[in-house]
């Protein structure tokens, strides 16, 4: 018998082939860095945006029932009919526009996949995409993967309102897409009706498309309505509207969202969707569809989070932080210039190590270094978590 072949090198000693990175500028995110630092120093983590409390037991029961009832195989590519019907009904009831659930609503694997798919479906190499920054961190890599060129319009502290003159000036014959986000992560600002009207004026007569990231749509405070692009026919006709059940129902780990768009846009979206995801977890779709029969959980969400916002803001009022406006989302930005002249990243790390509360530097949401002396806290936490953080912050 021949002796078995013995490799001259162990597998882990063999270097893999070199190849050029598709995302050469992407490294470890600030969220990963700050969460690890928070764990190391046993800090209260108000950095990453996810709840530390459970979801409604009814939605868990609905998903478990769907599993027991045998809904465990592939669903239709665009999502199960019951869930697309429920989404269309919700949008119509809340925002006043009827989307056809068959041809204009697609269930996605969370909002991040929805955003990437919309960009890949519409942006060609050399196309320009207008981005309002500070901006959610998936936007720029998605544009880069599509071969597009980001064009930046900067929102400035303390109010982070959109400079519409600069937005209008950013539009060129090469503009394919504008990315908007309301309520806005990380700043907590929201678009108002007059803002939507200004956007209508800017894009009228162009072929510019819009991706409207509305994952915090049910977290708008002080009685104000969420101004979805779906409310505005001229905007809706050119827009992909993105939302997230993970954000709305406190189940961020489930990664289920949706996109609503006119049929021609949806057809292009689904061409990409069917190959980068194909479809989304069946029992969760069935369970969410059942849960959506009661509108109270999303209609009451603004009041739920406003209580947390008001509790957290009241506590911060006793510190040296300067509170910035928080009209929506579950994020509160603060100016720390009365406390320190450190950079935002250095201050966030110091706050985590020395005070025991983790925050995120808002400078991390810009494509280049942009210091405003502002950090972001997440208040989607239990009251006792927020109280512990506030006690520690009161030492400053």
**pLDDT recorded at residue 9:** 59
Range of the domain at 288: 58-294
Convert the pLDDT of each residue in 112-170 to its tens digit.
999 999 999 999 999 999 999 999 999 999 999 999 999 999 999 999 999 999 999 99
387 located within any domain: yes
Confidence of residue 11 (pLDDT cuts 50, 70, 90): low
- Please tell me whether residues 115 and 216 are part of one structural domain: yes
- Please tell me whether residues 191 and 329 are part of one structural domain: no
- Please tell me whether residues 99 and 160 are part of one structural domain: yes
Cβ distance 116 to 145 under 8 Å? yes
87 located within any domain: yes
Convert the pLDDT of each residue in 180-204 to its tens digit.
999 999 999 999 999 999 999 999 9
- Please tell me whether residues 212 and 314 are part of one structural domain: no
Convert the pLDDT of each residue in 274-325 to its tens digit.
999 999 999 999 999 999 999 999 999 999 999 999 999 999 999 999 999 9
Q: How far is CA 192 from CA 153, 197, 227, 231, 253, in A?
A: 18, 9, 6, 12, 30
199 located within any domain: yes
Cβ distance 379 to 309 under 8 Å? yes
Convert the pLDDT of each residue in 367-386 to its tens digit.
998 999 999 999 999 999 99
CATH number at residue 271: 3.40.640.10
**pLDDT recorded at residue 6:** 57
CATH number at residue 32: 3.90.1150.10
- Please tell me whether residues 102 and 232 are part of one structural domain: yes
**pLDDT recorded at residue 8:** 57
Average pLDDT, the chain: 96
What lies within 8 Å, CB to CB, of 138 at 6+ separation is 112, 115, 116
> Phi, psi at residue 365, to the nearest 5°?
-95, 10
Looking at 7-16, 47-56, 260-269, which range is the least confident one?
A: 7-16
Where is pLDDT greater, at 2 or 258? 258
As a whole-number percent, the residues of the chain with pLDDT over 70 amount to 97
140: its two tokens? 């720029």
**pLDDT recorded at residue 2:** 56
Hey, is 357 helix, strand or coil?
strand
Confidence of residue 229 (pLDDT cuts 50, 70, 90): very high
What lies within 8 Å, CB to CB, of 390 at 6+ separation is 312, 315, 316, 318, 319
Indicate yes or no: pTM above 0.85. yes
**pLDDT recorded at residue 27:** 84
Cβ distance 302 to 221 under 8 Å? yes
104: its two tokens? 């204009």
Residue with tokens 């599509």: 146
**How far apart are alpha carbons 334 and 320 in whole angstroms?**
10
Strand partners, 333: 376
First to last CA, the chain: 77
**pLDDT recorded at residue 48:** 85
- Please tell me whether residues 173 and 315 are part of one structural domain: no
As a whole-number percent, the residues of the chain with pLDDT over 90 amount to 93
């Amino acid at each position: 018998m021949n002796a078995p072949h013995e490799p001259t090198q162990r597998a882990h000693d063999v270097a893999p082939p070199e190849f050029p990175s598709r995302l050469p500028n992407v490294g470890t995110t600030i969220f990963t860095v700050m969460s690890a630092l928070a764990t190391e120093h046993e800090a209260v983590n108000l950095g990453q945006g996810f709840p530390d409390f459970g979801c409604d037991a009814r939605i868990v029961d609905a998903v478990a029932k769907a599993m027991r009832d045998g809904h465990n195989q592939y669903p239709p590519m665009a999502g199960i009919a019951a869930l697309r019907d429920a989404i269309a009904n919700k949008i119509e009831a809340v925002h006043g526009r009827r989307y056809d659930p068959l041809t204009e609503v697609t269930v996605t694997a969370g909002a991040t996949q929805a955003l990437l798919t919309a960009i890949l479906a519409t942006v060609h190499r050399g196309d320009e995409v207008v981005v309002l920054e500070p901006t959610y961190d998936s936007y720029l890599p998605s544009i880069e993967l599509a071969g597009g060129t980001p064009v930046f319009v900067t929102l400035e502290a303390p109010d982070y309102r959109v400079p519409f003159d600069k937005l209008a000036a950013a539009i060129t014959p090469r503009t394919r897409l504008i990315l908007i986000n309301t309520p806005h992560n990380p700043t907590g600002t929201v678009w108002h009706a007059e803002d939507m009207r200004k956007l209508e004026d800017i894009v009228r007569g162009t072929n510019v498309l819009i991706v409207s990231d509305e994952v915090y749509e049910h977290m708008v405070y002080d009685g104000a309505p969420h101004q979805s692009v779906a409310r505005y026919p001229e905007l809706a006709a050119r827009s992909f509207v993105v939302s997230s059940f993970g954000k709305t129902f406190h189940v961020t780990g489930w990664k289920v969202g949706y996109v609503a768009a006119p049929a021609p846009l949806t057809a292009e979206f689904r061409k990409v969707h069917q190959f980068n995801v194909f479809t989304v977890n069946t029992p969760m779709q069935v369970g969410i569809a059942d849960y959506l029969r009661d509108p109270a959980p999303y209609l009451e969400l603004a009041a739920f989070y406003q209580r947390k916002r008001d509790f957290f803001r009241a506590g911060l009022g006793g510190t040296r932080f300067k509170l910035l406006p928080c009209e929506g989302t579950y994020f509160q930005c603060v100016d720390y210039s009365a406390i320190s002249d450190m950079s935002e990243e250095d201050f966030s790390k110091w706050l985590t190590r020395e005070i025991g509360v983790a925050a995120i530097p808002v400078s991390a949401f810009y494509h280049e270094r942009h210091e405003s002396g502002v950090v972001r806290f997440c208040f989607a936490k239990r009251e006792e978590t927020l109280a512990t953080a506030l006690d520690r912050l009161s030492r400053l």
